[in-house]
Structure 1
């Protein structure tokens, strides 16, 4: 009997579907998959190389693709999936999230969940007509709310800060370079950091 060990993050959204699919995989293929959980913080911070030494299947986060490709700790899925399968995964992914798993001509993971940079608001506190559409409007709203002892919130653990920085850089016309010494132009990076500080 084949038994595989997998690791995901400790949230019903990240664990329950895998548990259900493992039962079906056992019935249909006779292969057991035992899923374990790690905290959301560890999900973003634990080395993929370390996980790959201890587990057969990994649910990992997209910011790790560069280090994963360099270390060779996981297989390049582009060598194991057909063009039709890859196209289907791309079509069924949220927004452009599928592209975040491509790096250096490899496909290092598949999107099974989308933790997207998105906005949300309470309509009882902010009417839809007042919802900001530009960054200057967001900053203006933040200043207005601060004066009323209310706040705009943003996820700012280390991994979230990295994702916000990359997203704002790309939105500003400076996506992070795949090669070279400079990831983004210095002035553009400073402008993004200033915007993050203002938020």
Structure 2
């Protein structure tokens, strides 16, 4: 990964940009839903980066994806737009509209090697009622899906990624024709929304070990 320190206006941000790694990940906005496709290594990498974002209260975690080919051809009536992924801790009060100018100033960054943390998501979905920023928020800007939330929100939705990573490979081996997936959900829209591109409130994450459908 590379580390970038970027100032925009009065604020300075630390951006962690994931380098190319093992596995495949693709993310598409299909207008009625967000589709993500992952193979085994890609799912493991995504889960680790999601866990990193959960613990990185002072950093933006950027996963460049929009130039990566996906495993499917989408019907013409549902044109799909490939997106990057940006994970943001809510306490930064980062405005999605600031991402495009900030991204343009990232430069090469400083190479950094680190071990991503082991996922610490609950084994099961928590049942306690959540409020406000304990839900994720999805925004789309500059061909990037910006996901903002608290550690509670990231951990709650990360449970689905952890379960998929734990169960899907064995399930696919036993029942290769079975659809293995999980959904990552945004919370209700804010009471006073800010202008942003309309974006679906659900990411359908599909396990594609052979990258073929």
Relative to the length of structure 1, the TM-score reads 0.24
Higher strand share: 2
Structure number with greater CO (CA < 8 Å, separation at least 6) is 2
**TM-score under structure 2 length normalisation:** 0.23
Higher helix share: 1
